[in-house]
A and B are shown apart, each in its own frame.
Chain A
Amino acid sequence: MSSLTASRVLAPVGTAGNLFAFGLDVARSLFRRPFQMREFIQQAWFIASVTIIPTALVAIPFGAVIALQVGGLIKQFGAQSFTGSAAVLAVVREAGPIATSLLIAGAAGSAIAADLGARKIREELDAMMVLGIDPIQRLVVPRVLACMLVAVFLNGLVSVVGVAGGYVFNVVLQDGTPGAYLASFTALAQLPDLWQGMLKALVFGLIAAVVACYKGMNAKGGPKGVGDAVNESVVITFMLLFVVNFVMSAIYFQLVPPKTG
């Protein structure tokens, strides 16, 4: 009885360990030749095509909400001239990576998990292994790299669209002055903010793809298993990404002092 409880309590630890081991396998296969260029380009194109439009559509209200919230607050302080600066800071540092992570996990991750899960239950992955081809090298590595690449680009897209959305809302709805909005861009934000946003997106892409591939390749129990795998991969990715985002932000604030004045 106690061993049963113990095994049940320890089960998540085992799963986490397996996921980590899978990540290491992927890292090792990363350097194994031949690199699957064709698959990489196809996947990058596919992931971009399922994420670009939703990301842009999410980024506009994201930037607008920040502009509305911060704009209202900042007016009470009488510091309207810093609205632009606050919006840039919020979008580039946090909103960009977070919106990217949501889309990468929700759109790209679920598509990857569903694809690999379907292959798994149709025994395609077994067939591939039997043909002497490692599915991690052939299928997973190109997907992980494609996901990381697209995540970085999406982060840039969110930053641009988000700041533009904030600008439109600030200028049109809150009667802000365009000049002040643009001029204050660099008042608080600095170049490392951009780097850390891109680094975050890169890590988020990595995590989302590894989790999705792991869940997809371990799907079992017929079509329902594929559905479960997709569901679990999205949930796990969300949780991981938010935790990792917090940790990376905390580290960033220790490493790069905020700009003053």
Chain B
Amino acid sequence: MGVEIKVENLSKSFGKQLIWGNVSLTVPAGEICVMLGPSGTGKSVFLKTLIGLLKPDEGSIVIEGTDIATCSEKELYEIRKLFGVLFQDGAMFGSMNLYDNVAFPLREHTKKSESEIRDIVMEKMDLVGLIGAEDKLPGEISGGMRKRAGLARALVLDPEIVLFDEPDSGLDPVRTAFLNQLIVDLNAQIDATFLIVTHDINTARTVPDNIGLLYHRHLAMFGPREMLLSSEEPVVRQFLNAQRVGPIGMSEEKDADELAAEEGQELPPLPPIPLQLDPSNGIARRSQRPPGEWCRENGVTPPPGSFEQNMTMVTGS
């Protein structure tokens, strides 16, 4: 049924360079969250901190009553069994074929017989559409396939929390759409907590229940999807709509001159909020909220044309 991740006051720096500070957020149980941010703002570092691969300098990450930032190595290995992580390049073990890769966690952690393992592995391989490729080595397949194989391996222990490190990087738009649909369907099926780190705004606009934005060494905003998509906050607005006008520049932030040059420039209107991606069986996920609910509850008027069927995705205007 998914597990909540409670992050408080988290800071991380490498040497003297602060990556991000003071990050506080709660990833609600069973919901899909997306963590956005311009390149190089430490999104992957955030993900690695969540699974305890990197130790934060300050703050706490509480999962099921255990603080990952301070717990012992032994507890960490226990708590990690709740996690499934999809790494950027899949991180498949190069010396094993795909079948053995996916079966690896089962063989290490369970006492299942080989035939039971085979059933589970085949089910997961089917889920990600890799039936027939079990005997391939990770070096012999495309990046997209490696990613899907990585997803199969991440799901094999029925995790309570699934983390995705840029699931859409290096994939073509069609495959990205399929993968996004797969993520939504998976969430409907296993009800785990999903956290996706990405900078693909298409994914961010249509997939999650909640969106977070890391920018300029802090968490700029975290909240329900509709809150961020209807937000007038300059950074959020610029990033989620892929505009050049705004505080984010080519290298991190713009300097005063560039900002002054933009003074008075008319911001393009907020594009309409698209409908959230439904599971392919059409039955809403447990954590899914009806379109426009947040806007109504908080008295926010969504941009005109929001929540219409078959809306074209126009961004970057």
Contact = CB atoms under 8 A, between A and B. Distances in A.
B11 to A, nearest CB: 21
Interface in A120-145: 122-124, 126-134, 138
Contact of A119 (B85, B94, B153): B94
A181 to B, nearest CB: 48
B83 A133 contact: no
A118 interface: yes
B91 interface: yes
Identify which of A126, A127, A134 gathers the most chain B CB atoms within 10 Å of its CB. A127
Contacts of A131: 80, 104-105, 108-109, 153, 157
Nearest to B73: A134
Most chain B CB within a 10 A radius of its CB, from A126, A128, A131: A131
Contacts of B289: none
Contact of B53 (A122, A130, A133): A130
A119 B108 CA distance: 18
Contacts, number: 53
A118 B92 CA distance: 12
Contact of A126 (B53, B92, B105): B53
Contacts of B150: 127
Interface in A91-128: 118-119, 122-124, 126-128
A119 B93 CA distance: 8
Contacts of B87: 123, 126-127
B53 A129 contact: yes
Given A118-B94, A122-B94, A132 B85 contact: no
Contacts of B285: none
B21 to A, nearest CB: 23
B91 A129 contact: no
Contacts of A130: 51, 53, 80, 83, 85
B205 to A, nearest CB: 28
B58 interface: no
Contact of B91 (A127, A132, A133, A134): A127
Nearest to A25: B73
Residue among A122, A123, A130, A134 with most chain B CB within 10 A: A130
Contacts of A123: 87-89, 91
B178 interface: no
B81 interface: yes
B45 to A, nearest CB: 12
A124 B81 contact: no
A132 B53 contact: no
A130 B81 CA distance: 8
A194 to B, nearest CB: 38
Contacts of B105: 131-133
A127 B53 CA distance: 10
A122 B51 contact: no
Contacts of B217: none
A1 to B, nearest CB: 15
Interface of B: 48, 51, 53, 77-78, 80-81, 83, 85, 87-89, 91-94, 104-105, 108-109, 150, 153, 157
> 9 tightest A-B contacts by CB?
A127-B91, A123-B91, A130-B85, A132-B80, A132-B81, A131-B105, A123-B87, A132-B77, A130-B51
8 contacts: A123-B87, A127-B150, A127-B153, A131-B109, A132-B108, A133-B105, A133-B108, A134-B77
